[in-house]
Structure 1
């Protein structure tokens, strides 16, 4: 720990709606816009923590649901907390567990108290309430805690969406109280509220007002990137971030593809997380400035060029990566994951540079023209 503040967001520059800033916390500074690699079960898959840092990541995400089931939050606490347990000493944001409870559990029962569910691992019964979610995150030693919320599909009826939003706001208040009750943890950590309301401007506005009334260190735009498509997501982001406190960071949960991130930054989002770069790496897909490359494709079998000459894996050819992936060698997943995380951090660094120079629109238009051109054929 250092003498840095518990949590301080500084906005350095704006370019349209886009924002360049930084978050100072006791475990380190987070440059925004920021992408957080996902460390679901206490690890960013196929990567050592020091190597994640070398890619440029300032913060990673941990998953409350998975860690509460295995190895257990109480066990992690006994072993020194998630930072010491995993070997990552910089900030960690933990999600609330709500999304996984509702997407992975075959049987759930929702009530005002919380969500009762059966583990997807062994069928054992569990209950997560706002208070239990915050307790788990405190036991893990999270630096940024997420309020517990209720997520429903954007295809739900408006009545269902309204009821879930209203309940999420009641749970947000309970989450805030539970967080404040953990005095030692609250003195060094932060808590974010989550805006809900699907694709409805009225519901989003009511959610934002309720969250600001409670007061949080930052605010997430939740309930997007769940199948509604980029056009609908961007239409929501045209107004939703502006409803939140402009002096606090704004986090778009679960996003996403590189062009999703660029469009969301243009609309005022500061923080992102997604499993895509790591999951794609394990499945033979590499992200490049010229679009995604499926390294399994036979056309790469004798291509001696690197994925990117600046990539940390530039010493290995596309032909060799093709061989590794086709042979199911774990080194292929490791190298492609490292490359993808590096690419995402290069993307964020380029966005920050463009915002600071006041040329984001030009940069973003050029990025999209190149990225969507799919100019990744062998030389």
Structure 2
């Protein structure tokens, strides 16, 4: 009896794979999600300050003001455009500059006299990512140049404490490492929900569900077949993307065990594919399924810790997201891939994923049986 059940699950899963193979749109989506999407996410992190356009209104014309102007250079900023005061508003309105630094007359004289002259920094805050990061950069650069000019020497005053800064796991602070791996984690969740939901809705729209009802198969076998087949597709493509795109093309080093990561990804897929089937039983067609998926997928990705640290979120949100599989998947993935953690470190998120996956599978199976009974 057990052998027959396993054979049914296997054959139904193979049927799902053949159905997916004959769907060029979903195949194109899979290829895009684990190639172009990974590369663009890694190389175009929005918070990176890169070639921010800046202009300087130098009304002082002193060595100090020229020194400040020469301190801005690529790759953080473009070479400063030296403009007149009357050109400042026009350039900002046209969007030519994100930052305009206005150095007033007699600036150097007031600095050397011990006064506190004011500089005006105009920021185009509609460019939010550049404005937020670049504002601090400009302040630090100006303060550093003024202090060094006053001391008449390069170098800093000796501090009573020697701070040795070591950046671990990403010593060059390269945002590519974070962007590529986190996009793979997010895409695993997204694609697993899409594929399993689309597989069930496709059968309903094509009328093949009625064919399954007259066959000697159970709802559990039908659902397990969709879970293992679609989960396998996502797992294989994610593993290939991790090696070919992230490690190969982007050159991101992987510290931990890939086998341990794949095991954790399989547990997460067990939960997310079950969630995809549950959403598909609630929707009547693909447009409805797409709207439901947006309502579920956006919180799963934004609040899981893949975009921002969970510690920066309200405590209520942190506690609620413990029920989401993506929270634990992000935790174990970062620990394994970034820090080389072993099972003794990540066993808790592994256990949480197993529990959440079992609960989601039970809920989805109950709803799936009810849906099939209504169609019978």
Determine if the TM-score, normalized by the shorter chain, exceeds 0.5: no
Name the one with the larger strand percent.
1
Name the one with the larger helix percent.
2
Instruction: Mark the structure with the bigger radius of gyration.
Output: 2
Compare relative contact order (CA 8 Å, sep 6+) and give the higher one, 1 or 2.
Answer: 2
| TM-score (structure 2 length as normaliser) | 0.25
